[in-house]
Amino acid sequence: MSALEGRTDEAVEAAVEVEIPAAAESGESEAREQKVTWGELFFDVVWVFAVTQLATSLAYSHGPGGAAKTLLLIVPLWWCWVGATVLGNTAGEAVDTPKVRFTLFALAGCGLVMAVGIPRAFQSGGHGGALLFALAYVVLRSLLWASLRSRPAFRGNGWNPFTCALAVAGPLFLLGAVLEGPGRVAAWSAAAAVEIGGWVLLSGKLDKVRFETSHLPERFGLFLIIALGETVMAVGTQASDHPITASRLVVLGIGFVMIVALWWTYFHYGAPAARHSLETDPKQSRIVREIFTYCHASYVTAIICIAVGLKKAMAHPMDAPSGTPALLLAPGVALFLLTFCYSRWQMFGAAGALRFWFAVAAIVLACCAPLLPAVVVAGLVVVLLGVLNAVEAWNVETGRPIPLMRMPRLLRRA
């Protein structure tokens, strides 16, 4: 049950509207907050490369099937990053000791090898990329399991989502690496399902783990910055690789404004709300699972799709988008906004109606995209995000009620 379960509708509405806890505003307990360390930031550098590899592979994928296979690789990479983040969070002050630092460096090395294997992970006629990816995954998971089981929070808690990933998903990735074509896709899809489903089926194993409430939101927010940084790189490198024209300059400007709008959509209201829920919900493991693990995986996937869509728009600004990668811009924005609806429903029992209807508008735009020049599609996406942020800010600044969509209690997750 959520911390807001059982409160009045007015209390729920106030929580959704303000989304900033009083304790955070007053700086209460600031001295005890766990900060992200330099070692963790170095660890993230490898995932910058991984996100770039994913975006590049997605941009050059063929058809919906090729795009789906690339997006499938987000799952093991993301869940490995989440595991390392949980390690850092539960280690507390020990995260800055040489032992944990070297563990993070070893995990980063495995992540680097996984990222190198991304472009050839599904390539036919050889197992090099797939085997590299799978072996690095298993080694990373083994190191993570060994490190977590030594932490006080996990002692006596042998079978948990991290153990499941190593014991079940690991062999499936290895099996897929030696198979070809549909066999590899099936094995790796099953492994991804284990990664995702393990957090639901074994979430009770994490109920007694206490998560530090300032460190975790900061870590996940930093990964959103990594994804947004990839969007900047995608637009900027594509612009520098082509002759400068008026239409490309327009797309460059639109792309930058879009990235700012995405940043604002998440960090102005979404990030404080997530931290507030982690601080106040009596079942922290549910917030870590639903809001930080699942929702942020969706945010990252959406931003990667947006980056690829902008990259293609920069290459051919006056042409109508064609091919799956070029058509990902508006669907990526729709996914981004719909994820906020799900997260607020999980946190407060009510989703923001504005974000839902603007997501619907983005879906309609996605359906019309093949009929419009890419620069027009990008421009309309910016208008959608800009109007959404402006209306939300106006509602909050003027004290107007936030339009809400309440879901039946029966659908609430436990």
- Answer whether 333's CB lies under 8 Å from 381's CB: yes
State the pLDDT at residue 156.
Answer: 72
47, 139, 168, 188, 189 from 171: Cα distances, Å: 23, 12, 6, 10, 13
Rounded CA-CA distance 223/169 in Å is 24
Q: Mean per-residue pLDDT for 223-230?
A: 97
Q: Is it the case that residue 388 has pLDDT exceeding 90?
A: yes
- Answer whether 130's CB lies under 8 Å from 117's CB: yes
- pLDDT bin (cut points 50, 70, 90) of residue 277 is very high
Q: Which residues lie closer than 8 Å to 261 by C-beta, 6 or more apart?
A: 382, 385, 386, 389
Q: Is it the case that residue 15 has pLDDT exceeding 60?
A: no
Q: Is it the case that residue 237 has pLDDT exceeding 60?
A: yes
- Answer whether 117's CB lies under 8 Å from 129's CB: yes
State the pLDDT at residue 126.
Answer: 56
Kindly report which listed range (159-163, 165-169, 287-291) carries the lowest average pLDDT score: 159-163
Rounded CA-CA distance 231/190 in Å is 30
348 vs 111, which has greater pLDDT? 111
**Interval 293-324: pLDDT, tens:** 999 999 999 999 999 999 999 999 999 999 99
Average pLDDT of the residues of the chain: 89
* Helices and strands in the chain: count of H runs, count of E runs: 18, 2
- Answer whether 310's CB lies under 8 Å from 290's CB: no
- Answer whether 310's CB lies under 8 Å from 56's CB: no
124 vs 140, which has greater pLDDT? 140
Rounded CA-CA distance 321/123 in Å is 26
Rounded CA-CA distance 366/377 in Å is 8
115 residue type, one letter = A
- pLDDT bin (cut points 50, 70, 90) of residue 127 is low
**Interval 139-164: pLDDT, tens:** 999 999 999 988 877 877 778 899 99
Q: Is it the case that residue 30 has pLDDT exceeding 60?
A: no
How many Cα atoms are found within 13 Å in the side-chain-facing hemisphere of 185? 12
Output the six-digit token pair for 113.
């090898």
How many Cα atoms are found within 13 Å in the side-chain-facing hemisphere of 379? 12
Q: How many residues does the chain have?
A: 414
Residue 340 burial class via C-beta count within 10 angstroms: exposed 0-12, middle 13-18, buried 19 and up: buried
**Interval 348-367: pLDDT, tens:** 888 999 999 999 999 999 99
Rounded CA-CA distance 140/170 in Å is 10
Q: Is it the case that residue 250 has pLDDT exceeding 50?
A: yes
Rounded CA-CA distance 220/85 in Å is 9
DSSP-assigned letter for residue 411: G
Rounded CA-CA distance 254/275 in Å is 31
Domain boundaries, the chain: 1-32+213-414, 57-210
Q: Mean per-residue pLDDT for 380-388?
A: 98
Output the six-digit token pair for 250.
């327009």
